[in-house]
Structure 1
Amino acid sequence: MTTIALSVNRRAVEVVAEPRTSLADFVRDRLDLTGTHLGCEHGVCGACTVLLDGVPARSCITYAVACEGADVTTIEGLDEDEITAELRAAFTREHALQCGYCTPGMLVSARDLVLRLPDADERRIRVGLSGNLCRCTGYVGIVRAVQSVIEARRARNIAALADGGRTILGPAGSGRAAPGRSEPSAARMALAPAPDSVARDIIQDFTPAVVLAQSFTLAHPPAKVFAMFDDIAGVASCLPGVSLRGTPSPERVEGGFRVRLGPIAAAFQGAARVERDPATLSGRILGIGNDQRSHSATQGEIRYRLLPLEGGAVTAVELSIGYTLTGMFAQVGRPGLVRDLAKRLVAEFAANLDRHMSGGSPGRPRPAELSFWSIASDVLRARLARMFSRISKTKGAE
């Protein structure tokens, strides 16, 4: 077994695997990133295409150990990517997918073409996609979709990048990993905690894959709210699904977070550090965690800022919630679902915080949950609201 240290979808991981493990099996079986599909397993069909250091590569014929120190991006890591979002819309518009099995690899290759090609030349697009086989569509819709995205971006004066922005030559990770394994590489020294462990002493900074903005108000002055935020145990008791272990300190808070998204439940165990700036009444909570059962891992960041309202009698709490997910939860934790869950959690946190500051008890902690029925009821309420809004507008126009 070999310890492999690399970055997957902007998250540093360090996982033990056999030297013979392919990169495709590594991301699917060890990280539960099953958007990478396996077809021929000979590097011919292109269904397994991922980005290695920004370059499309066949993950089924690439050994994971050869990617030491490299940046790997799977289709899940392109959820918030602008070009991929445009390609997805174009694939839908041009009927460029049917069974969808080849689509993840096709999108990765198409994204590279959109980056590199100066214009929507059909021949160059067909040559560029010749390594991605599709048994359903006949390629006409796929080519049209890629052409439309290239044309739209060039019309917006977004120029092509020479070589797709590539700045280094050589195999994946070249110039990143240490030449020998006797000393830790710079990439490995900078890694965040591995999915199987969160026992490091330092919580590393990271760039969130998704950032959500939320806000609420409290009927208490900012100074009182800021002092409350200094009570780590008190704040944790107000957060749904959160529990602490041991004695918390600003440098390190250890505990867990229970969450449920539809049929999938997880109990993340991890640690966090707390930063505060009294001069600006702001702060940051940076955390990491993993769930052994679902093999999911997360990094999260909450930034808050307190603003006075109504002459300082009321406080507006502005939150910026950033996170990166890997594993099974990354498959169901799409931004829309997570945004709904965050909205519910913030509302419950605000109510608990207000109750706690008023001398009450926030109540017994329970898992943070977004169930199927709660999603369905929200959708139904939204549709009813839109229907009544249209009816009222129609009557007002008569």
Structure 2
Amino acid sequence: MIGLTVNARAVEAAVEPRTHLADFLREGLDLTGTHLGCEHGVCGACTVLLDDMPARSCITYAVACDGARVTTIEGLDEDEIAIELRAAFQREHAVQCGYCTPAMLISARDLVLRLSEADECGIRIALSGNLCRCTGYVGIVRAVKSVIDARRKRDLSSIPGAGRTTLGPVGSGNRAVSSNAAAVNAAAHQSEIQPEGTGTLAIPDFRPALVLQDQFTVAYPPDRVFEMFGDVAAIAACLPGAALGAAPTPERVEGMIRVKLGPISAIFRGSARIERDSTNLSGRIVGIGSDQRSRSSTQGEIRYHLVPIERGAGTRVDLSIGYSLTGMLAQIAREGLVRDLASRLTKDFARNLDRHLAGIPRDDAASTQSLNGISLLFGLLRKRAREICQRVLDRRY
């Protein structure tokens, strides 16, 4: 259930988490003035006002707008600036098929509020996010320019930032965020998540897009290995590229992990919750993180189970690693590469774990090294080359 204000009218509705705001407005509220074009946030035909800021409704989830104010073209019937713009669009022949016009008017209204003078270059740049396949933009630019000129001559000054007092994502000015919106923001902005008991949400469960199975062995009893797995700082020290951001607790940890994939360097910052079951020597770690530079986000889950081997003198660690990745890194993180990355990471972790249990001092240079995707990629290529050569030899002999 979400509750929001649409065109000054309170609306409550049940929506699927995957429903975009544009579909909710068109299909749920019959506000068909909001048009869908590319559905990738490029053409601008779906632009609406979210907390008085222009936003792409085709790439905005409806649940993320819980508690917000949404204004569509239908809600601007009595708006003074929109009335002037409609008259100017008609006068300057700025309309042909009309498909882009509702969103063009919403974006133009924002320009009329913000621009101190009718600068044609500034208008063209500011409207570049709204595509039109018919008019050639000449009439549109003339219409917007005429409205700005007319209002400034009437001593109606521009409003710096259109009245926005804070920077941030669209809708960030909203102060009436309810629980559903908080859940979405918690998943998207995990750096704001705090431990349970501080008034914010716990890290949510999720369904991984990909699950990998792996295992390794160490020459130490399961009880000792399980005890070390409870030492969050020690485990983080064994994981290449990982670093803690604050003092961990037995149930929660915050930190980061550095990853380098070719030209892309990423630092995923986030949080994880920790679950342990001493009765069967198993545990689970669920985390979320994001990298601001590549605009990539990830959710991950690691399940482990310690199995005694060699009559209890050694331990086999069975791992199940699940994750979901979105953003730029998701475009290059193909399944085969990810599996080999996870395999190499597991081997490095197992080696560092064995060193720690043996009391060998930590190699600080190795512990802070990023996960280097290039070296892992070359390792993958060498492995594949060996497999191809072996298949050729098998056929020959």
- TM-score, structure 1 normalization: 0.54
For residues 250-288 of structure 1, what are the alpha-carbon distances to aligned partners after superposition, in whole Å with 9 as ceiling and x for unaligned? 232111110112221101111111110001100011111
In 2, Cα distance between the equivalents of 1:22 and 1:295? 27
Q: Which runs of 5+ in 1 are unaligned?
A: 10-19, 30-37, 44-60, 71-180
Corresponding residue of 1:231:
231
**Residue 67 of structure 1: CA displacement?**
4.3
Secondary structure class of the residue paired with 2:280: coil
CA contact (8 A) 1:263 1:371 kept: no
Change (3 A) 1:8 1:266: farther
Corresponding residue of 1:272:
272
Corresponding residue of 1:69:
63
Amino acid of the structure 2 residue aligned with 1:270: G
In 1, Cα distance between the equivalents of 2:381 and 2:338? 15
In 1, Cα distance between the equivalents of 2:258 and 2:179? 34
Alignment of 1:289-304 (within 5 A): 289-304=289-304
Corresponding residue of 1:247:
247
In 1, Cα distance between the equivalents of 2:60 and 2:185? 20
**Residue 310 of structure 1: CA displacement?**
1.3
CA contact (8 A) 1:260 1:367 kept: no
Secondary structure class of the residue paired with 2:184: coil
For residues 179-220 of structure 1, what are the alpha-carbon distances to aligned partners after superposition, in whole Å with 9 as ceiling and x for unaligned? xx9965564354362434422232111111111111111111
Amino acid of the structure 2 residue aligned with 1:208: P
Alignment of 1:196-235 (within 5 A): 196-201=189-194, 202-235=202-235
Amino acid of the structure 2 residue aligned with 1:273: R
**Residue 291 of structure 1: CA displacement?**
1.0
Change (3 A) 1:301 1:386: same
- TM-score, structure 2 normalization: 0.54
Alignment of 1:320-339 (within 5 A): 320-339=320-339
**Residue 238 of structure 1: CA displacement?**
0.1
For residues 12-34 of structure 1, what are the alpha-carbon distances to aligned partners after superposition, in whole Å with 9 as ceiling and x for unaligned? xxxxxxxx9988889668xxxxx
In 2, Cα distance between the equivalents of 1:272 and 1:375? 28
Secondary structure class of the residue paired with 1:193: helix
**Residue 385 of structure 1: CA displacement?**
3.7
CA contact (8 A) 1:22 1:64 kept: no
In 1, Cα distance between the equivalents of 2:357 and 2:218? 10
Amino acid of the structure 2 residue aligned with 1:68: A
Give the number of equivalent residue pairs. Answer: 247
In 2, Cα distance between the equivalents of 1:66 and 1:265? 27
For residues 129-179 of structure 1, what are the alpha-carbon distances to aligned partners after superposition, in whole Å with 9 as ceiling and x for unaligned? xxxxxxxxxxxxxxxxxxxxxxxxxxxxxxxxxxxxxxxxxxxxxxxxxxx
CA contact (8 A) 2:220 2:313 kept: yes
In 1, Cα distance between the equivalents of 2:378 and 2:236? 29
Secondary structure class of the residue paired with 2:191: coil
Does 1:371 pair with 2:367?
no
Amino acid of the structure 1 residue aligned with 2:393: I
Alignment of 1:6-45 (within 5 A): 7=17
In 2, Cα distance between the equivalents of 1:207 and 1:283? 17
Change (3 A) 1:66 1:360: closer
In 1, Cα distance between the equivalents of 2:344 and 2:59? 42
Change (3 A) 1:193 1:215: same
Does 1:188 pair with 2:181?
yes
Amino acid of the structure 1 residue aligned with 2:63: G
CA contact (8 A) 1:285 1:303 kept: yes
Amino acid of the structure 2 residue aligned with 1:394: R
CA contact (8 A) 1:209 1:322 kept: yes
**Residue 343 of structure 1: CA displacement?**
0.8
Change (3 A) 1:373 1:393: same
Secondary structure class of the residue paired with 1:198: helix
In 2, Cα distance between the equivalents of 1:336 and 1:354? 27
Amino acid of the structure 2 residue aligned with 1:195: A
**Residue 382 of structure 1: CA displacement?**
2.6
In 2, Cα distance between the equivalents of 1:305 and 1:64? 43
Alignment of 1:356-395 (within 5 A): 356-364=356-364, 365-372=367-374, 374-392=376-394, 394-395=396-397
**Residue 320 of structure 1: CA displacement?**
0.8
CA contact (8 A) 1:195 1:296 kept: no
Larger RCO of the pair (alpha carbons < 8 Å, separation 6+): 1
In 1, Cα distance between the equivalents of 2:177 and 2:370? 38
CA contact (8 A) 2:187 2:288 kept: no
Deviation larger for 287-296 or 224-233: 287-296
Change (3 A) 1:243 1:353: same
Q: Which runs of 5+ in 2 are unaligned?
A: 6-14, 20-32, 47-54, 65-173, 195-201
CA contact (8 A) 2:193 2:271 kept: no
Corresponding residue of 2:197:
none
Change (3 A) 1:286 1:28: farther
**Residue 313 of structure 1: CA displacement?**
1.1
Change (3 A) 1:285 1:224: same
Change (3 A) 1:294 1:184: same
